[in-house]
Structure 1
C-alpha cells in the first residue's frame, strides 16, 4: 500500500517537472495532490450536551458545620470560644473589614453572593446559618 502511494506521489512530481508553464504546474500539482491524498471523511459521533445535576441536598447540620468550619479557620476567631451565639464584634473584636472578609469566605464556601445590605445583619454565626438555610430553602431546625 505504501509503495503504491509512494509511486503515485513520485509520478505526480515527475509530471510537474516535465511541465514548463508555472500556472500549469500549480494546477497539475493540485490535481495530483487531490487524487492521491483524499481526505478521510469521518462523521463525529460526539454530540455537544450539558451534564447538569443537582448537588447534595443540604441539611441544617451540614450548613452549620460548614459555616462553623469557615469561621474557625479565620485567624481572628478563637475556635475554642466560637459558639452559635458568639458575637463577632464583642467576643472576637471583628471590625468592618474583617466582617467583609468573613462574608467573602462564606460566599466562596457556598458559591453565591451575599449583598452588603444582608451581610450587615450578620452579628452571630447563627445569623449566617439562618441566611444560608433561607437561601437554600432548608427548614429543618435541630438546634432550636
Structure 2
C-alpha cells in the first residue's frame, strides 16, 4: 500500500528533476499546467518517470486525466493498492 505523503514526495522530486519547479511548490491541489507551468512534453516525461518510479502503467487515456498533483497521487496509490 502506497503512502500519500511518500508518493507526493516522490512526485515532487520527479517534477523538480524534469521542470526545475521547487519541490515545496508541488502540492496536491496544484494543477500541473496552470500552477506548475508543465508543458505537454514535460508531462509525458513526468508520466514516464512515475511509471518507472512506482512500477505501474499509466495508459495514455488515463494520463490526460491527471490534471493536478492530487490526481497523480490518487492514481499511483490506487494502482499500487
TM range (shorter): 0.7 to 0.9
Q: 1:104 aligns with which of 48, 51, 69?
A: 48
Deviation above 4 Å: which 4+ runs of structure 1? none
Contact 1:76 1:92 in 2 (8 A): no
Using the alignment, how far apart are the partners of 1:112 and 1:65 within structure 2? 17
Deviations 1:106-143 (A, max 9, x none): 11101222100000011111110000111112xxxxxx
Unpaired segments ≥5 residues, structure 2: none
Greater fraction of residues in helix: 2
What residue is the counterpart of 1:135 in the other structure? 79
Count of residues in Structure 1 that have an aligned counterpart in Structure 2: 81
What residue is the counterpart of 1:79 in the other structure? 23
Determine which structure has greater relative contact order: mean sequence separation of CA pairs < 8 Å that are 6+ residues apart, divided by chain length. 2
Bigger shift: residues 105-114 or 65-74: 65-74
Unpaired segments ≥5 residues, structure 1: 1-56, 138-144
Q: Which of the two has higher C-alpha Rg?
A: 1
The alignment status of 1:126 with 2:70, answered yes or no, reads: yes
Deviations 1:73-125 (A, max 9, x none): 22243434322211111123222111111101111101222100000011111
